Structure formats: structure tokens, C-alpha cells
Amino acid sequence: MFYDNSLSKKTDMMINPVTIETQMMIRKPVQQVFDAFIHPEISSKFWFSSSTGKLEQGKTVEWTWEKYQVSSKVTVIKIIANELIQIQWGEPSSTVDFIFETLTDDQTYLKIQNYNIALQGDELIAFIIDSTGGFTTVLDSLKAYLEHNLQLNLVQDKFPPSKWRLTKAMHCSIVGKQFDSFKNQNSAPSVNYSPTRRSIYSI
């Protein structure tokens, strides 16, 4: 099932029309794949460490990646059972659609679209790379967990446990100043950003 997200995109000239898309076929019924994103006790097996609650339309929850000491507030814009989960999150804020398509009784095609991105130039390019890589990692982890009951810890192991810093994109887009003072620290600053995208990397 296809959703035209152009109707929901902001008209602000600062919003870039780019839509980032990743996709994966999951060999499980659509209900099971859909529930994996709704219920944090399942999502925490392949994505974040914990959540303040399940996804419900109109509600805001907070996802936490404990290893990185990072949290992100997530606002649920729209839910259509077994078809669509639409959220807004991150810094800079952007919209993410999880689109579920039933192929057979035990096969689901999942697309993740990320758009409404208020960045331009090099910052936009960095965001596209990070978002594509991050959501691809989420899909890989999801497939391994639902199909084979394997927790690969791909998100948790994407970055080293120490000596890491914020990317240049985060320097500019989150607070507009340099965070080079973190360069030689072994612990992470607490920020409202998701490590699913390549928001942090080793030094």
C-alpha cells in the first residue's frame, strides 16, 4: 500500500523536499511486524533500550539508548492499524513513516520514509547518509529478530562504548556551536537525538 506523503509535507521553504527511503521484506504476518514497532517490549529487542510507553496516536514517548546515554522524544502523528505508523522526532525534527504492505499471509513489505527535513547543502547530505544507514540497520535487526529470534544488537554495537563525539552535523543543527570539548571525554553528553542515524562515531 502506497501513501502519498506530499500532502503532509510542510510548505516552509526551509523544509527540503527530499524523501529518504529504506525497505525490507519481513517473512512474518503484517500484524506481527506492525506490533514490533508499537510495543516497546518488542522494539527494545532490535532498536532502542527502553521507552516510556507504547506508540499511540497523539501521544509523545521517549526512546532511550542506554549504552550511548541518548534519548529522543517521539510524537505519534498518525496510526492506521497494520498499514501506517507516522512519527515526528529528532533534532532537527523530521517526519518518519513506517508503511506496512501485506504480500502474503506470512510476508510483509516494510518501507521507512524520512522527510520534512529542515537542512540544506552538506548538512542535508550528511543527514541522508546517516538516516539511510541507520534505518537500514533497524530493518536488518528487525528481520533477524522476527524471523530467527536473534538479537544481533546491531544498533547497540554500531558505535564504540567510549571515546565518541557528536558529528559536525549535530554541532550545527542541534545547538549551533562546536562540541569539540567532548572530543577527549569517555562519556557521552545527553542529547535529544537518535543513534540509529549515524549521530555519533568513534574518534
Q: Are 200 and 163 in contact (CB under 8 A)?
A: no
Q: What is the residue extent of each domain of the chain? A: 20-179
- For residue 33 the three cell numbers come to 511486524
C-alpha span between 192 and 70 (Å, rounded): 7
**Domain 20-179: which topology?**
Alpha-D-Glucose-1,6-Bisphosphate; Chain A, domain 4 (3.30.530)
Q: Tell me, what's the pLDDT at 161?
A: 61
Q: Tell me, what's the pLDDT at 45?
A: 98
C-alpha span between 19 and 144 (Å, rounded): 26
Q: Tell me, what's the pLDDT at 65?
A: 94
Q: Tell me, what's the pLDDT at 91?
A: 85
Backbone φ and ψ of 154, nearest 5°: -65, -40
Give the residues of the chain that fall short of pLDDT 50: 1-13, 162-203
Q: Tell me, what's the pLDDT at 16?
A: 82
C-alpha span between 79 and 102 (Å, rounded): 16
Is the bond preceding residue 189 a cis peptide, omega within 30 degrees? no
Q: What is the pLDDT of residues 91-105, one digit of tens each?
A: 889 999 999 999 999
Q: What pTM was estimated for this model as a whole? A: 0.76
Q: How far is CA 13 from the centre of its chain?
A: 24
